[in-house]
Amino acid sequence: MIVVQNEQSPGTIQDGLSDLMRNGVGSLRVCSAYMSVAGSRLLHDAIVRAAPRGDDQVEKIIVSSLDFGITEPDALAFWQGRPNCRVLVAGTDGLARRSLIPPAAFHTKFYLVGRPDGSLGSLIGSANLTSRGLTVNSEVAWVQYTHRRIAEVNAAWEAAITPATPLTDEILEAYARLRPRAPRPAEAAELEPVPAPEIAAPGVYPLFAESGPGKYEQMWIQSRGMQGGAGTQLELPRGAHRFFGAAYEDYDFERVEHIAEPVLVAGTHVWRDRPLTWHGDNAMERLNLPSATMGGFSYEHSVILFRRIDRNVFELRVYPWDSDSARAYIEASQRAGLVYRVGRNSNRIAGFIR
């Protein structure tokens, strides 16, 4: 299938990679012309959540280039320091010439996910392994969930990485020294952070109750402090249950009442016991999220994103409030006029992605 990412529809490249790892990951091959540390960490987090026996059991091959000095040396060092990971780079001939401008640019973007059951999936398109490439840049990719002719895919992979050679400490050190003197092409702008959106005072936005949450595929909630003894209860706006496909109207009930139990997933983690309840004492809906010790996340000062992937099944993602991903989702919702107040007296906001 074709996936399209842009400012109005951010994160779809991440969606594609996440979906490829839904049933686990046994090997990962990435060929990306340019890489950043932020993009590498986004992908690595996805690997960790999808690896059934740990990151060190996942065979990783990471291929990038030194062309134009765009790839961050720290990104190469990041992968070089991962267990069970080989790193290769194209463009090393430029080091001897003391120039990172190549005769022919290495521009491939090729992601291959091997699963524990032996199946193979791929994402092939325009997205580099950078935070912007995985989040907000205008990108197009073809996601193939299962390849029937694995030998042909492997042959294509070998052909694609032919210009690359194994990264050594000497190559990395020489690149880091030469890179500051390299001309900065326009493509280097994708290493820049996503600008912070201009967020109005919460009272400017309409109440969430005025939205129609059931018609959207993604919903995000701003988190500051969490509730409950474990600090995992997210206070949702009244009516948020409709996004999860439930129906509830008994808001006069003064105690705690069960509304629904959406299935939450992150990588290979699946939680079927996360109740969504009405709390009459503070007139809020609450969703009990999985704790970090259960394979969940840390939720303080973040954007908590829910993506519908099946009936009553939702992918859970959490991004720090000032991260590129959080900024991209907030800005996309603002452009679409889909940002709302969580409640009348709340200073938090929520939004939808079409």
Domains of the chain: 2-191 (3.30.870.10), 202-353 (2.40.330.30)
Res 156 pLDDT > 80: yes
pLDDT band at 86 (very low <50, low <70, confident <90, very high): very high
Tokens of residue 332, six digits:
């996309």
**Tens-digit pLDDT profile for residues 123-141:** 999 999 999 999 999 999 9
Pairing of strands 284-288, 233-236: antiparallel
pLDDT attached to residue 113: 98
pLDDT attached to residue 185: 83
Tokens of residue 194, six digits:
């996503």
Give the amino acid at 64: S
Q: Give CB contacts under 8 A, 24+ apart, made by 41-49.
A: 41/78, 42/14, 42/131, 42/134, 42/135, 42/325, 43/17, 43/129, 43/134, 44/78, 44/82, 46/14, 46/17, 46/18, 46/21, 46/267, 47/21, 48/267, 49/21, 49/266, 49/267, 49/268, 49/269, 49/295
Longest CA pairwise span in the chain (Å): 75
- Please give the C-alpha separations between residue 314 and each of 5, 106, 218, 317, 335, in angstroms, as whole numbers: 20, 37, 9, 10, 24
Given the structure tokens 């699946």, which residue do they identify? Answer: 270
The model scores a pTM over 0.75: yes
Q: What is the mean pLDDT of the chain?
A: 93
